[in-house]
Amino acid sequence: MTGPQRPPRERVVLAQRRGARQVRTRTEVVEQTDLGAALIGGLIRAQLGLALRLALVTVAGFGALPLLFGIDAIAEATVLGIRLPWLVLGFLAFPALYAVGRLYVRLAQRNEDDFLELAGD
């Protein structure tokens, strides 16, 4: 009669083998590990920084308009019978806001693509 069967021996190695796969970054993000939280935090900081920079440019640009319109030569200038400040506000302000919005979407998408490339392994 033989004794209980032993399971086959396993070799335990502490160092990683050559060619062994690292834990997938996407898993780190989904499972909310410290690395995943750091990656998501980096994406959030990048998006917030982008939004704040473009907001600063927009506020500075539109904030300078009253100073520009305070100059008498510009405030009194007319083009086709319409004062220049009204033309600037009517025909340049909205396209400028649209351009800033399009730029934000493009750069935010680039941030997300970089994050997905990093998380995709």
Summarised one tens digit per residue, pLDDT across range 30-60 is 666 777 777 788 888 999 999 999 999 999 9
pLDDT in tens, 59-87: 999 888 888 888 877 777 778 887 878 88
What does the pLDDT read at residue 28?
60
Query: CB of 115 within 8 A of CB of 47?
Result: no
104 C-beta neighbours (distance < 10 Å), count = 17
* Per-residue DSSP letter, 71: S
Write down the pTM of the prediction.
0.65
Which pLDDT does position 75 carry in this prediction? 72
Separation CA 38–CA 32 (nearest Å): 9
Give yes or no for a contact between 104 and 54, defined as CB atoms under 8 angstroms apart. yes
pLDDT at residue 20 tops 50: no
How many CB atoms lie under 10 A from the CB of residue 29?
19
Half-sphere exposure in the Cβ direction for 106 (13 Å, CA): 7
